[in-house]
Amino acid sequence: MPQTTAWATVLFHHERGALNRVTPAKAYGFHVGIWWQNDRQLVAFRQPVTEIETTGHLVDSDLTHDSAWETARWELLPPPTVEYFQIPRGRILWDTVHRSGIVYHGNSTSEAVFKELARLYGLPRWEARLDEHYLTGEALEEFYRLE
């Protein structure tokens, strides 16, 4: 029996300059992008690796949390004063050498979220990397107290 989650998935697909809401299905081909997750929703924005020009071995999306926030806000429904960096979020890159994904995340990401992201972004293999840039809540406050 499939594992159930406490949240629903909302997926936006960015291709050829257009951003469209699509059915949250397994990706065919490799994708990169950004995402947010709260206790109700996983909101993911993905972009095919084949659409991105790169000179190095890491492929990154041109999507930014700041620019996608107004779209994500309507799905996440935070209080009006909450900003995009106050909700758990992350970024997914593609490593062309190792043919695997890199999931950058903060302190609030569960194994279930990692697995769902791998499915949505078409990642056969992936590595989760904690990134201070994506910390939220008390962990973020503590990080800045240490500086």
- In one letter, which amino acid is 98? H
Q: 7 φ, ψ to 5°?
A: -125, 160
Contact (Cβ atoms closer than 8 angstroms) between residue 37 and residue 5: no
Place of tokens 């041109």: 62
What's the pTM value of the predicted model, to 2 decimals?
Answer: 0.88
Contact (Cβ atoms closer than 8 angstroms) between residue 111 and residue 140: no
Each residue's pLDDT tens digit, 30-60: 999 999 999 889 999 999 999 898 879 999 9
Segment 107-136 mean pLDDT: 93
What is the reported pLDDT for 147? 60
Each residue's pLDDT tens digit, 70-106: 999 999 999 999 999 999 999 999 999 999 999 999 9
